Amino acid sequence: MKKNVIYMILAVGIGLFLGYLIFSDSEIEESADTHDHTSMASEQIWSCAMHPQITQSEPGDCPICGMDLTLSETDKEGLSLDQFRMTKNAMALANIQTSIVGGDTSIESNTLKLSGKIKENEEANAVQVTHFEGRIERLDVNSQGENVRKGQLLATVYSPELVAAQQELLTAISLKKSQPELYNAVRNKLKLWKLTENQINQIENSGKVKEVFPIYATVSGVVSMKMVETGDYVTKGQILYKISDLSTVWATFDVYENQISLLRKGQKVRIKTNAYLDKSFDAEISFIDPILNTKTRTVTVRSVLDNKSEIFKPGMFIEGVISMKGAEGVEKDPVMIPKSAVLWTGKRSVVYIKTDSSQPIFQMREVVLGTSKGDQYLIVEGIENGEEVVTNGTFTVDAAAQLQGKKSMMNKRENMRRDKNMQSEEELIDIEIKLTEEFGKQFVTILPSYFLLKDALVASDSMEASAIAKTMSKELGGIKISDLGKVEYIYVDKINKGLKAIGENNDLISQRAHFVDLNENILALIEGVRVMPDTFYVQKCPMANDNKGAVWISKEKEIKNPYFGEEMMTCGSVINVLKRS
């Protein structure tokens, strides 16, 4: 009996203790919840949809455009409006990797590679000419590539006028004392024909007329071209040989337009050749051509190489490696990032920055791309060395940004207004396109004509491009657009205007300029099509559109550039794939 009482007392005691713990925790949680809500209320942020940099803790008007400020999502972690956080588990699953811009100190990341050739030093070239008329009786140097030295016998020539001049000399000898002026004039005449004093004295001493005369080399070098054959009749001043002094040669490189700003006279160049794979040769940039080749969009850069050991042969292919780091005349080290870090859409190229190296916090950044070098892009604007960018798993990071309503590749928040009637056409370029399924099915039917138009520009056939553009415009006019929104209607209108401009103009340069904008608008709508009839490749040439870059769509992965045609057929790369759905 006593034991039962003891057990009951213990049970009641334990029950009271557990009840205390439960209700005590509830009060704590309630208190904490109350505190959090208060905190959240105080952390509300009001911002402008057009100017997100304008933020304040209460409603009001934007001081820049006057629009009503809208309530932004509360960020308990103190992140800016464009920053977002990912979990470490999500980063691990997506294999997201980052790298420090400029942190790679390898030679590859800080150098510019140029392709070129060895050429003769034109400043050291010379020609061997005749100084009198005649017929070539014999050539002593008969082939290109032979070495000649100054004073070497090159050929013998029969010259009737030289025979007559010798007879005049022999006659003038007898009048030497009575008419010394006549004698000296005849001698000087022979000297003008490049006869030496020794040759003239031999004629005087022998008293006989020579029928053939030798021609001696006036310079040393290598015969780069033989211009005559035995038996040819030559006139005064005619070229017999072109002779190159190969003791020095030129290393010439083709530099694309968007690389010119990276180069300066005096920069060091390390030169490599296929002939000597284990050797490299140092030189300096001595000349940058002031005139751009309009066909290839390149300028010639050259260096002078010492070639006394005859290592370099004109025509050799070479590679020049120029260090960009700390180069004289270059304001700062170039910013290079891997191509895998760049996402491209419409007119924008974007990357994701890891804003805190110790935490998985990211932010989208728009960049301006320069030239591509291997598997890297030169960044003209948008990133500085030392920043940390996402190099693997970029699409996953972008998806996370979209899910959290942050700035992303397809969601450029600063271009969104509450009232669409206030938007200009230019401000609509980055707004997400929403197409009906019916319009998408009709729109893709004009793509066969588009590809014919692209191929006509690849072939530089302006007449064919004009005819196809007119046909494509008619096809576009047959598509029902009454159910489109204002944004989508503007894109269709821009496409139609671009096609009419190409159709009404037979100037190839003008057609290609209109093709730039046409592609931007077509691509914007294509990305909104739900059902893709085939797999297409979005390709981009960084040198088109005055070096700003331009895109086009292709059925094939192979690059065939419509903006330059044969001049630079393979300039470009695949930047996106629109897969068949």
Model confidence pLDDT, tens digit, residues 245-302: 888 999 999 988 777 877 889 999 999 998 888 899 999 999 999 998 888 888 999 9
CB of 252 within 8 A of CB of 269? no
CB of 409 within 8 A of CB of 364? yes
Q: In the predicted model, is pLDDT for residue 109 greater than 60? A: no
φ, ψ (nearest 5 deg) of residue 419: -110, 105
CB of 264 within 8 A of CB of 313? no
CB of 148 within 8 A of CB of 243? yes
What is the enclosing helix (H) or strand (E) of 448? Answer: helix 447-458
* 480 alpha carbon, distance to own chain's centre: 40
**Closest of 151, 137, 138 to residue 196, by C-alpha:** 151
- The whole-number pLDDT of residue 283 equals 93
CB of 284 within 8 A of CB of 269? yes
Q: In the predicted model, is pLDDT for residue 572 greater than 90? A: no
- Tens-digit pLDDT profile for residues 3-25: 555 655 665 565 555 444 444 44
What average pLDDT does this structure show over 456-461? 93
End-to-end CA distance of the chain: 81
| Coil, strand or helix at 394 | helix
Q: How far apart are CA 357 and CA 368, in angstroms?
A: 24
Q: How confident is the model at residue 317 (pLDDT cuts 50, 70, 90)?
A: very high
Q: How confident is the model at residue 303 (pLDDT cuts 50, 70, 90)?
A: very high
Q: How far apart are CA 561 and CA 578, in angstroms?
A: 19
pLDDT, greater one: 426 or 99? 99
- The whole-number pLDDT of residue 21 equals 44
Q: In the predicted model, is pLDDT for residue 183 greater than 60? A: yes
Q: How many residues in total does the chain contain?
A: 581
- The whole-number pLDDT of residue 431 equals 45
- The whole-number pLDDT of residue 108 equals 52
DSSP state of 277: T
Q: In the predicted model, is pLDDT for residue 544 greater than 50? A: yes
**Closest of 317, 301, 318 to residue 260, by C-alpha:** 301
- The whole-number pLDDT of residue 485 equals 65
Structure tokens at 416: 């969104």
CB of 392 within 8 A of CB of 93? no
What average pLDDT does this structure show over 507-519? 91
Tell me the pLDDT of the chain averaged across its residues: 78
What is the enclosing helix (H) or strand (E) of 286? Answer: strand 281-288
What average pLDDT does this structure show over 214-225? 87
CB of 288 within 8 A of CB of 299? yes
- The whole-number pLDDT of residue 213 equals 81
**Closest of 357, 515, 509 to residue 451, by C-alpha:** 515
Q: How confident is the model at residue 77 (pLDDT cuts 50, 70, 90)?
A: low
* Pairing verdict, β 361-373 and 388-392: unpaired
Q: How far apart are CA 218 and CA 149, in angstroms?
A: 8
- The whole-number pLDDT of residue 567 equals 85
- The whole-number pLDDT of residue 560 equals 93
What is the enclosing helix (H) or strand (E) of 188? Answer: helix 180-192
CB of 336 within 8 A of CB of 373? yes
What average pLDDT does this structure show over 495-514? 90
Q: How far apart are CA 380 and CA 346, in angstroms?
A: 18
**Cβ neighbours of 374 (radius 10 Å):** 12
- The whole-number pLDDT of residue 54 equals 61
- Tens-digit pLDDT profile for residues 462-493: 999 999 999 999 888 888 776 666 667 777 88
Q: In the predicted model, is pLDDT for residue 533 greater than 70? A: yes
- Tens-digit pLDDT profile for residues 33-73: 444 444 444 456 666 655 554 666 678 777 655 667 766 54
Q: In the predicted model, is pLDDT for residue 498 greater than 80? A: yes
What is the enclosing helix (H) or strand (E) of 487? Answer: helix 486-503
CA angle 266, 269, 271 (to 5 degrees): 150
In the beta sheet, which residues pair with residue 125? Answer: 244
CB of 165 within 8 A of CB of 254? no
- The whole-number pLDDT of residue 65 equals 58
CB of 566 within 8 A of CB of 460? yes
- The whole-number pLDDT of residue 27 equals 41
DSSP H helices in 336-485:
394-403, 437-443, 447-458, 462-477
CB of 297 within 8 A of CB of 256? yes
User: In sequence order, what DSSP letters do the residues of 108-161 get, joined into one string?
Assistant: GGGEEEEEEEEEE-GGGEEEEE-SS-EEEEEES--STT-EE-TT-EEEEEE-HH
What average pLDDT does this structure show over 21-32? 41
CB of 85 within 8 A of CB of 401? no
What average pLDDT does this structure show over 197-211? 80
Residues 6 or more apart whose CB falls under 8 angstroms from that of 72 comprise: 44, 45, 46, 47, 55, 81
pLDDT, greater one: 81 or 428? 81
Structure tokens at 194: 């490049």
Residue 383 vs residues 111, 189, 198, 353, 491: alpha-carbon distances, Å: 18, 74, 75, 9, 31
Q: How far apart are CA 462 and CA 511, in angstroms?
A: 8
Q: In the predicted model, is pLDDT for residue 155 greater than 60? A: yes
- Tens-digit pLDDT profile for residues 130-146: 888 889 989 999 888 89
CB of 289 within 8 A of CB of 341? no
- Tens-digit pLDDT profile for residues 363-394: 988 888 776 666 778 787 888 888 999 998 88
Q: Where do we find the tokens 């034109």?
A: 122
| Torsion angle (degrees, nearest 10) of CA 281, 287, 292, 293 | -50
308 burial via Cβ count (<10 Å: 0-12, 13-18, 19+): exposed
- Please give the model's pTM, rounded to 2 decimal places: 0.44
What average pLDDT does this structure show over 83-112? 75
What average pLDDT does this structure show over 118-128? 88
